Structure 1
Amino acid sequence: MKDMVQFGIRIRHLRKMNQFSLRELGERSGVSYSFINSIENNRFSPSRETVIALADALNSAEKDELLLLAGFAPTEEEALEGPHSGGNFVDVDDPEVSLFFKDFKNAPKERRDEMLRFWHFIQEQQQSRKPDSEQ
């Protein structure tokens, strides 16, 4: 289940955090500024490609988080291209990982928020882990 209200709020927050106007984010992402405004105001749902373009244009954006909020599961290729590359990727062919994303998509908002917090915790732990340390 998509959480487009939270997605729009998150895009607006990231845009302002980067000090981008709607037009500037539009130029950087290749998405029209009026469409970005509609996304921020929960009038339209973006495609997967639009979410990725916005995430790439927003320097501090977590691509996986935005994809999840928009109702899309990240792929191995996108995770490898993201800011946490270096072997940390989501294997969507793994049945347990696929179940996680299926559960996320069908969960109520409170549960999705809890799952996102857990996802962020795991990412933070991976970032702070030294390459030679055991998991």
Structure 2
Amino acid sequence: MKDMVQFGIRIRDLRKMNHFSLRELGERSGVSYSFIHSIENNRFNPSRETVIALADALTSSEKDDLLLLAGFAPTEEEALEGPSDPIQATEIDDPEVSLFFKDFQNAPKEKRDEMLRFWNFIKEQQMTRKPDSQQ
């Protein structure tokens, strides 16, 4: 799903969480600060390579989420590499999770929008869940 408004907001939030100015993020990512500003304000849509460069400069754990927000899916090579976190690797090996992403790739835009909203809802619930609470 391509949600460039949310993508721009997410880039700005991540940049501020990392205490980066536009210029600092530009230097770290190799993307001009004026282009990053335009992305954050929903004036331009970045290429896949730009999304990856920004994700790498901000936090690699967000790369897949940022790619999905920008309307890109991970390449087969990136999917095969898998995450470096063993907990995440276990989740990706789950056939149901793999099926979700396969369905997402093949779904029409309206269905992708719905699936992404659901995915974000789950992530938000996980982030606010207390470690000792049941799911």
TM-score by length of 1: 0.71
For 1:5-58, what per-residue CA distance to the aligned partner results, in whole angstroms no more than 9, with x for missing partners? 000000000000000000000000000000000000000000000000000000
Kindly indicate whether the alpha-carbon contact (under 8 Å) linking 2:104 and 2:112 is maintained by their aligned counterparts in 1. no
Structure 1 regions of 5+ residues with no counterpart? 125-135
Match for residue 46 of structure 1?
46
Q: Following superposition of structure 1 onto structure 2, how do residues 1-135 of structure 1 map, counting pairs within 5 Å?
A: 1-59=1-59, 62-79=62-79, 80=81, 82=83, 84=85, 88=89, 97-103=101-107, 105-107=109-111, 109=113, 111-118=115-122, 120=123
Quote how far apart the aligned CAs of 1:114 are: 1.2
Structure 2 regions of 5+ residues with no counterpart? 128-135
Matched residue of 1:62: which SS?
helix
Kindly indicate whether the alpha-carbon contact (under 8 Å) linking 1:104 and 1:112 is maintained by their aligned counterparts in 2. no
Kindly indicate whether the alpha-carbon contact (under 8 Å) linking 2:7 and 2:66 is maintained by their aligned counterparts in 1. yes
- Percent identity, please: 63
The amino acid that maps onto 1:12 is R
Kindly indicate whether the alpha-carbon contact (under 8 Å) linking 1:65 and 1:116 is maintained by their aligned counterparts in 2. no
The amino acid that maps onto 1:101 is Q
Compute the RMSD of aligned alpha carbons.
Answer: 3.2
For 1:79-130, what per-residue CA distance to the aligned partner results, in whole angstroms no more than 9, with x for missing partners? 4265547883589xx7763222233744374542213344x48x99xxxxxx
- Measured in 2, the distance between the counterparts of 1:75 and 1:85 equals 20
The amino acid that maps onto 1:33 is Y
Kindly indicate whether the alpha-carbon contact (under 8 Å) linking 1:63 and 1:82 is maintained by their aligned counterparts in 2. no
